[in-house]
Amino acid sequence: MTAQNLPTGEDINSLLEKSLLACGVDLDAVRGDYPTRSPLTGSPLLSVRSDDHSQIDAMISEAQQAFLTWRDVPAPARGALVKRWAELLTEHKADLANVITAQAGKITSEALGEVQEMIDICDLAVGQSRQLFGKTMPSERPGHRLMETWHPLGVVGVISAFNFPAAVWSWNTALALVCGNTVVWKPSENAQLTALAADALLARAVRDVGAPAGLHHVVCAERAGGEQLVDDERVALLSATGSVRMGKEVAPRVAGRFGRLLLELGGNNGAIVAPSADLDLTVRGVVFAAAGTAGQRCTSLRRLIVHESIADQLVDRIVAAYRTLSIGNPLDDGTLVGPLINQASFEGMQKALEQARADGGDVLVGGSRVLADAAEEAYYVEPAVVRMPAQTEVVRAETFAPILYVMTYSDFDEAIELHNGVPQGLSSAVFTNDQAEAERFLSSGGSDCGIANVNIGTSGAEIGGGFGGEKETGGGRESGSDSWRAYMRPATNTVNYSGELPLAQGVKFV
């Protein structure tokens, strides 16, 4: 593994200020006393405002008031707002990507990919704005029509994590807006500048198309700000992305007020590699899924379950690939692995590796910190590969860092059991050229995850498919497919045009 030179704090701040201004952020208006830091160097960035309880309450009130107007705007006209937003995102793709890199530490290609994901969901949402359709069902009564219609919910609260600091919000916001809702967003404390930049582009789109003011708000606050969205009865739907621990706290509170909930939680993702797999393809898929974004994707590959007949060969090739990874400045073209988000992530990784060794694991490569002399407050690490004798508790728990645990199996049933033997259920993959194995993996008796792939890694979901997982991942679905329904409420309608009043099921009441 090779380490690359790091930028200076001055370089990052200069690029950040230029990019924020290009996105339309009023720097004087957002300045405050809440410090932000860049994981690239650990150096301070622009300090931002800190919204208090009354300010957040006012945001929710404004969003609720705007909803009363926005819900009556025809859906295709609502789509025009999202279309304009996509145009601005396209125009300022590099600017927003720079902010994402400065705050989340993503390499440039991944940051640009995140903005492209935002553009893609806007494209999907614009099309969806003309297809918010319900069904018409046959009525058992003559002269009656039975149908369903779909209606906006109200204020949608979004709580997002640092690792996709803009894309996940856009998944929710693009669909929420075309469905007739308004949005209040509480981003991660580690990504508030990204949120302000992304929201500024949406604000420009609102002005350009003459949409109502108050459709969207950004909450700059610590945990209490998110809790306010969780508990406020005016927030009709809460979409929360984060840890399983967070989900277990949020879910009963929203349910207790009969609010709607969309959860995207942990993902301890696994991949099975069968004897028939194309190993060249497998190595490429595994290395990106496990080491990309420094292992800080919810879809990052964390468990590799390999047939015993090819395990040594495949592991040797993966270890060799890991040794070539360039680690360092994510703004440099040649860098493949940027920093962890903070010290806590690094310490969590070290604790997991220590436990893996205690459980009999063999760390084959990686795990060490690099570039500490260049940036004492930044945490760059070598992605690790660990050969494990069994799926121990440390393997069953998600560690949000680049650790790939490798285990072996002898028959496909054992592989499926190992794969499903964790509490999380987000993304999964099988590498095989055996059609029967591929079909079994995709069947109801195969992967128990919300995403199941064949001959592709666990990372890199496309906008067209619904994104989400099962078990402790929360059961939510965002992005494509019919996930728009989460942002609307159905109503069943019966229209009687018969001139008579027959009752259903033949009931007589005189």
Active site annotation includes 264: yes
Cα dihedral 67→158→96→221 (10° resolution): 100
The CA R_g of the chain, rounded to the nearest whole Å, is 24
Element (H, E) at 115: helix 108-128
Kindly provide the b/e burial profile for residues 176-190, where b requires at least 16 CB atoms within 10 angstroms of the residue's own CB: bbbbbbbbbbbbbbb
3-state secondary structure of 283: helix
Quote the CA–CA distance of 86 and 42 in Å, as a whole number.
Answer: 32
Quote the CA–CA distance of 115 and 126 in Å, as a whole number.
Answer: 17
Quote the CA–CA distance of 241 and 299 in Å, as a whole number.
Answer: 13
Quick check: 184 and 490 in contact, CB under 8 A?
no
Nearest by Cα to 176 from 93, 270, 79, 102: 79
Amino acid sitting at position 206: V
Amino acid sitting at position 242: G
Catalytic residue among 62, 264, 398, 478: 264
Ramachandran angles phi, psi of 96, nearest 5°: -65, -35
Quote the CA–CA distance of 90 and 80 in Å, as a whole number.
Answer: 15
**493 has which bridge partners?**
147
Query: Residue 335 is encoded by which pair of tokens?
Result: 């860098």
Quick check: 148 and 109 in contact, CB under 8 A?
no
Ramachandran angles phi, psi of 198, nearest 5°: -65, -40
Catalytic residue among 62, 298, 382, 478: 298
Q: Determine the straight-line distance between the first and last CA of the chain, rounded to whole angstroms.
A: 85
3-state helix, strand, coil in the chain (%, to 5): 40, 20, 35
Quote the CA–CA distance of 185 and 59 in Å, as a whole number.
Answer: 10
Quote the CA–CA distance of 122 and 140 in Å, as a whole number.
Answer: 41
* 3-state helix/strand/coil string of 326-342: EECCCCCCCCCECCECC
**Catalytic sites, residue numbers:** 264, 298
